[in-house]
Amino acid sequence: MSTLKGKIAFVTGGSRGMGKAIVERLAKEGAMVAFTYLNSENNAQQIVSDIVGAGGTALAIKANGAIQGAVKSAIEETVAAFSRIDILVNNAAVAVYGPIETASERAEAYNNQIDVNIHSVAEAVRTAQKYMPDGGRIINIASVGGIRIGSPGMCDYIATKAAVSAYTRGLAWDLAPRKITVNSVEPGATETDMLINADENIRQYLMDSIPLKRFALPEEVAALVNFLAGDEAGYITGSSFKIDGGISA
């Protein structure tokens, strides 16, 4: 497969879970992929090695999205290596859960969540669009929780993901004159480390609410991202795509 042959992609948070699956799928489709990681250096380097071994091109860059300027620098490093950005995928995110009664105790974590989930997304878009040719693609990973909460203790996290979906719609208007499409992907419960390591009662609670009675696979989310990154999605912009097994139906 080579639907993205010759394209340059930049993915935030690409060393684990959905991010890893997205990086690998874009590379499989022929894109040269740069991605950020924070703590999973071994994972990141293994992904690069696997992609290069398969004949592709990949670059892993350590960057903390909570620090202003880090994502900007990572994008500029990518441009220095590959000359431009055709596809931007904002995947990196932090989730902080807890009851509203203890919110003040989580203030630092909450601010970190805002920085990663909202500020770094805006920084990535504002930087990447300068190096993106007309007709580029921006895909933001939001959450189905932006319209359906599902359980208590998630209000802070959900607020950030709802902001990403709203930001996507505004960006679609701003970048339409350049034929740059901007869409969001809104996964439900997905088999990533967070869910795999969750308490069995939580897993069962989530499973009971899903009509298809299974969790999403990271590769399924990556397949949707891949479609939105390709030429066939050129008339789709400002849209939010739920991939949640029917939980929002």
Q: Which alpha helices (H) appear in the chain, and where do they start and end?
A: 17-28, 41-53, 70-82, 107-114, 120-128, 155-175, 193-196, 200-208, 218-229
C-alpha span between 81 and 193 (Å, rounded):
31
Burial category of 232 from C-beta neighbours within 10 Å (exposed 0-12, middle 13-18, buried 19 and up) = exposed
Identify the three-state secondary structure at position 181: strand
DSSP annotation of 121: H
Q: Which residues are catalytic?
A: 157
Identity at 202, one-letter amino acid code? I
Q: What phi and psi, each to the nearest 5 degrees, are found at residue 243?
A: -135, 85
Contacts of 119 (CB under 8 A, 6+ apart): 65, 68
The answer to whether 204 and 149 have CB atoms below 8 angstroms apart is: no
